[in-house]
């Protein structure tokens, strides 16, 4: 009978240890679900912020592209002015040479 009591106590102890392990496993799963949810929320937030920044940059790029023809026209005008200035300076130097001569 004594052996049966020891065996029963062993089974009760094993059952308690198994239940503690099972509870621990359940707690671990709950923790992993919380972490996963937190990371998913964080990822959604970061994606939303990145999308907003990208839309802002696309708007700025669209504004820049609207002004590209004007900028190109100004660059051509500036090149023309630089050429005119060089021609005028050449003309002035020849005029000085004539006066000094």
- Can you tell me which residue has the tokens 């089974």? 11
How is residue 98 written in tokens? 């004539």
Distance (Å, whole) CA 21 – CA 65: 64
Distance (Å, whole) CA 47 – CA 41: 10
Distance (Å, whole) CA 48 – CA 53: 9
pLDDT per residue of the chain (101 residues) written in tens, 0 to 9: 777 777 767 777 777 777 776 667 788 889 999 999 999 999 999 999 999 999 999 999 998 888 888 888 888 888 988 887 888 877 766 666 666 65
Name the 3-class secondary structure at 4.
Answer: helix
Answering whether pTM is above 0.95, one says no
Q: What is the gyration radius of the CA atoms in the chain, in angstroms?
A: 42
């Amino acid at each position: 009978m004594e052996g049966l009591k020891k065996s029963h106590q062993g089974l009760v102890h094993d059952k308690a240890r198994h239940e503690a392990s099972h509870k621990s496993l359940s707690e671990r799963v709950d923790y992993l679900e919380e972490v996963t949810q937190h990371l998913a929320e964080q990822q959604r937030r970061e994606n939303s912020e990145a999308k907003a920044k990208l839309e802002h940059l696309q708007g700025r790029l669209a504004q820049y592209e609207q002004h590209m023809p004007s900028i190109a026209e100004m660059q051509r005008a500036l090149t023309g002015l630089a050429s005119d200035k060089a021609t005028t300076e050449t003309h002035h130097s020849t005029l000085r040479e004539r006066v000094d001569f």
